Amino acid sequence: MKSKKNRFSKLLRFWKLLGPGLVTGASDDDPSGIATYSQAGAAYGLSTLWTALVAFPLMASIQQMCAKIGLVTSQGLTGTLKKYYPRPVLYVMLLFSFPAIILNIGADIAGMGAVGNLLFPAIDATYFSVIFTVMLLGLIIYLPYRKIAAVLKYLCIVLLVYLIVPFLYKQDLLAILKATFIPTLKFDKDFISILVGILGTTISPYLFFWQASVEVEEMKHKKKYVVVDKKIIDNMKQDVDFGMSFSGLVMFFIILTTGTVLFKGGIHQIDTVEQAALALKPLAGNLAYLLFAIGVIGTGLIAIPVLSGSLSYIVTETFGWKQGLDKKFHEAKAFYVIIAISLLLGLSLNYVGISPIKALIYTAILYGLTAPVLIAIILHISNNKKIMGDNVNGRSLNIMGFTALLIMSLAALVLLYLYI
């Protein structure tokens, strides 16, 4: 009995430790990300399962650097760029980030609306999109930061449904292990496009900005002034590592689900999340379909506040305006107005003829072009003693960071080759 209580108390302490890293990881598996993973699974079966193993250490290393920058400097990534780098670098990041994030929000809202319509066919998808947008906007403005953080954290539990779905269908364990640990490469345009898309949706620039800014928010809410020491850095690493591994696990199971159910069922072309959910119904049953659909809505509710929040942090820090989810509307009007504008612009994409698929393609291109530049800057900041003091990168973090830089640079070149 005592050992059970000890295990429970340890689990509770670990849950309390989790925060920005877990939410960041969960938001990475947004509806547009789920669409990308579903496309990969439906088109190529289990051939891209190995990408989850490759993506995890790269994601974790970059997010750890961003979190550490926020903790050490007590400002977001944008504030650090503004202070230590030429203004043109900052404005270029803003120029590329704004449309990419708006397109991402638009694709996610459309995906949530379409899935809502699948669950309740009597209500049109556009009505669901409006309902989700208004609900999210109200909650972001009304709830204080601690409540928002808690809601996002508990919403992460919804993503566990993706770990159940594959087991509702007969699996070949040997084939899964082979595809996971032995990379498959096909040198054709479509397969390379899928690989680039997976990289673009897992290592996304908006997550860099969000991670640094919410670490600052977290520090503000400590009961007393806290010096950033080894314990705080270690706790941050555990949070980020868990969040990124959770993200990679969800990604793995979505590819596994669509790579077995849809690919084997002869469905190789999936363009949207609602198509993936609908295709699962006759092949894997109503429960698989229902869980997949609920997961899409759940992850959208996590991702959209992160997307709009990261954009608002970028803009307000650029121009020196008051910002923070801990502030009330009247204390940081510009911050919340930018969030509102981003949500409304994202929603408007449903009415101006830009399809979610085109939005995903444009987003991937913009993220692909900005990610290498940002990773290079993050590496430079993280190794600058004037900024980071004794908290500069260690050798292993630098190795993973430079590997991420190399891979994302290659992905950017491939993007240019494929689309230009």
pLDDT at 5 over 80: no
Range name among 70-84, 117-131, 168-182, 212-226 with the lowest pLDDT average: 212-226
pLDDT at 197 over 60: yes
pLDDT at 93 over 60: yes
Q: Which residue has tokens 């669901």?
A: 128
**Residues 415 and 186 sit within 8 Å (Cβ to Cβ):** no
- How far is residue 330 CA from its own chain's centroid? 29
Q: What's the confidence (pLDDT) of residue 147?
A: 81
How far, in Å, CA of 317 to CA of 160, rounded?
Answer: 35
- Please tell me whether residue 225 adopts helix, strand or coil conformation: coil
pLDDT at 30 over 80: yes
Structure tokens at 83: 């202070």
pLDDT at 308 over 80: yes
Q: Which residue has tokens 């938001």?
A: 27
pLDDT at 333 over 90: yes
Name which of 82, 84, 104, 83 is nearest 92 in CA terms. 82
Q: What's the confidence (pLDDT) of residue 34?
A: 86
Structure tokens at 130: 């409006």
Q: How many CB atoms lie within 10 A of CB 41?
A: 27
- Taking residues 254-280, what's their average pLDDT? 85
Range name among 226-240, 290-304, 329-343 with the lowest pLDDT average: 226-240
Q: What's the confidence (pLDDT) of residue 223?
A: 53
**DSSP annotation of 143:** S
Q: What's the confidence (pLDDT) of residue 156?
A: 80
Helix ranges, 182-327 (H): 189-202, 205-220, 230-257, 263-264, 273-284, 286-319
pLDDT at 149 over 60: yes
Predicted confidence (pLDDT) per residue in 217-245, tens digit: 887 766 555 667 788 888 889 999 999 99
Q: What angle in degrees, to the nearest 10, is found between the helix axes of 286-319 and 145-155? A: 150
- Taking residues 195-204, what's their average pLDDT? 85
The C-alpha angle with vertex 266 and arms to 265 and 271, in degrees rounded to 5, equals 105
Q: What's the confidence (pLDDT) of residue 309?
A: 92
Q: Please, which pLDDT band fits residue 178 given cuts at 50, 70 and 90?
A: very high
- Please tell me whether residue 342 adopts helix, strand or coil conformation: helix
pLDDT at 319 over 70: yes
| 42 or 11: which leads in pLDDT | 42
| 28 or 340: which leads in pLDDT | 340
- Taking residues 349-358, what's their average pLDDT? 77
How far, in Å, CA of 244 to CA of 241, rounded?
Answer: 5
Percentage of residues of the chain with pLDDT beyond 90: 34
Q: What's the confidence (pLDDT) of residue 133?
A: 95
Q: What's the confidence (pLDDT) of residue 216?
A: 87
Q: Please, which pLDDT band fits residue 88 given cuts at 50, 70 and 90?
A: confident
Q: Please, which pLDDT band fits residue 48 given cuts at 50, 70 and 90?
A: very high
- Please tell me whether residue 222 adopts helix, strand or coil conformation: coil
Structure tokens at 366: 């913009």
- Taking residues 129-145, what's their average pLDDT? 90
